């Protein structure tokens, strides 16, 4: 069955929001959702979208899933260290299935980013897209405000917000903002192949600013404690995070200290047709 749009990783946090954004603008009958696990299908099918099951590591299943798809959103895999091969499998399958356009969620300023743990696989994927012959666009997503908000419970429990971002400014936006931008690119007039969008929040802040707002909103004194990347990774591991995740988060904070999560670009607000969600609003919503 022909489908105008398909979203990979559709049962994930970003993917689910992209599906919602698409449903607000196009008929459910035109939307496909790709999931890895059959048990994730029911909730999406209840929305009226077509669900297809395929893993990023199964080329044959991917090719079948993309049959009849016109415009595809490739949401980057969450498996850091395996993403290049997984993304290449999706790109090859899209090419084999005759997909007309592919948009990919990359990393802010990927080719010059100091976030070394994350950037390499995104750059490799962008290069694979450029060599594929597909018509494509790159959505270089900045940080989700939720990435820092998820550390709020621990900060409140221990009386401090810890990190390794120094005085680096962070141009984050809400995950929903990025989802709406992806939907806008999929459903709008297609950009020239190879177009790159640098997507970031309209306002920026330091983690000291974040801690000050957290203190104000919670009524508790929560200072920001800056650490070395090594010490921050150690603290995250002690808190129970797997070592690869701890190292990735610490590297990302170190990159933020070098300006890797800051951008003056207005591509995100331009795409969604409004200002990006203030980071303070996302923090306050989490506290409430």
Same fold for the pair 3-144+173-199 and 160-168+202-263+275-287: no
101-107 and 161-163 as β-strands: parallel, antiparallel, unpaired? unpaired
Spatial CA neighbour of 65 closest among 53, 73, 56, 48? 53
CB-based burial of residue 182 (10 Å sphere; 0-12 exposed, 13-18 middle, 19+ buried)? buried
Query: What pLDDT was estimated at residue 115?
Result: 96
| CATH number for domain 3-144+173-199, candidates 3.40.50.300, 3.40.30.160, 1.10.3720.10, 3.40.50.720 | 3.40.50.720
Instruction: Say if residue 1's pLDDT is above 80.
Output: no
Query: What pLDDT was estimated at residue 248?
Result: 93
pLDDT in tens, 18-60: 999 999 999 999 999 999 988 889 999 999 999 999 999 999 9
Task: Report whether 90 contacts 130 (CB < 8 A).
Answer: no
Neighbours of 66 (CB within 10 A): 25
Look up residue 140 and give its two tokens: 């270089």
Per-domain residue ranges of the chain: 3-144+173-199, 160-168+202-263+275-287
Angle at 148 between CA 143 and CA 153, to 5 degrees: 160
Residue 224 CA to residue 255 CA, distance in Å, equals 17
At the top level of CATH, the class of 160-168+202-263+275-287 is: alpha beta
Query: What pLDDT was estimated at residue 2?
Result: 87
The pLDDT confidence band at residue 81, using thresholds 50, 70 and 90, is confident
Q: Which residue has the tokens 């999929």?
A: 186
Kindly report the average pLDDT of the chain as a whole number: 96
Axis-axis angle for helices 279-287, 207-218 (nearest 10): 40
User: Which string of DSSP letters, residue by residue, matches 17-45?
Assistant: HHHHHHHTTS-GGGEEEEESSGGGHHHHH
Q: Which residue has the tokens 């997507």?
A: 199
Residue 217 CA to residue 58 CA, distance in Å, equals 47
50-53 and 31-35 as β-strands: parallel, antiparallel, unpaired? parallel
pLDDT in tens, 147-188: 999 999 999 999 999 999 999 999 999 999 999 999 999 999
Backbone angles phi, psi at 205, to 5 degrees: -155, 160
Residue 226 CA to residue 156 CA, distance in Å, equals 16
Please list the alpha-helical segments (H only) found in the chain.
13-23, 41-45, 59-65, 83-97, 116-132, 145-149, 152-158, 175-187, 207-218, 229-238, 243-257, 267-272, 279-287
């Amino acid at each position: 069955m022909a489908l105008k749009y398909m979203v990979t990783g559709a049962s994930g946090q970003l993917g689910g929001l992209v599906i919602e954004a698409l449903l607000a603008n196009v008929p459910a009958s035109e939307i496909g959702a790709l999931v890895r696990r059959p048990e994730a299908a029911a909730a999406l099918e209840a929305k009226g979208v077509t669900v297809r099951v395929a893993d990023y590591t199964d080329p044959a299943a991917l090719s079948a899933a993309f049959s009849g798809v016109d415009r595809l959103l490739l949401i980057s895999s969450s498996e850091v260290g395996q993403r290049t091969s997984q993304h290449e499998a999706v790109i090859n399958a899209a090419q084999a299935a005759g997909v007309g356009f592919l948009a990919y969620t990359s990393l802010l300023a990927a080719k010059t980013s100091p976030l070394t743990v994350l950037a390499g696989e995104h750059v490799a994927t962008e290069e694979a897209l450029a060599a594929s012959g597909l018509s494509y666009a790159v959505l270089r997503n900045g940080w989700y405000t939720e990435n820092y908000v998820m550390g709020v419970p621990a900060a409140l429990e221990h009386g401090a917000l810890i990190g390794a971002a120094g005085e680096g400014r962070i141009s984050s936006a809400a995950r929903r903002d990025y989802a709406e931008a992806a939907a806008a690119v999929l459903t709008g007039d297609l950009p020239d192949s190879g177009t790159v969008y640098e997507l970031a929040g309209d306002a920026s802040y330091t983690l000291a600013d974040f801690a000050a707002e957290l203190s104000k909103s919670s009524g508790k004194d929560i200072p920001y404690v800056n650490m070395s990347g090594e010490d921050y990774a150690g603290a995250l591991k002690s808190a129970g995070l797997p070592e690869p995740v701890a190292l990735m988060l610490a590297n990302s904070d170190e990159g933020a200290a070098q300006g890797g999560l800051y951008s003056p670009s207005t591509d995100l607000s331009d795409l969604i047709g409004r200002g990006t969600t203030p980071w303070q609003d996302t923090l306050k919503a989490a506290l409430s």
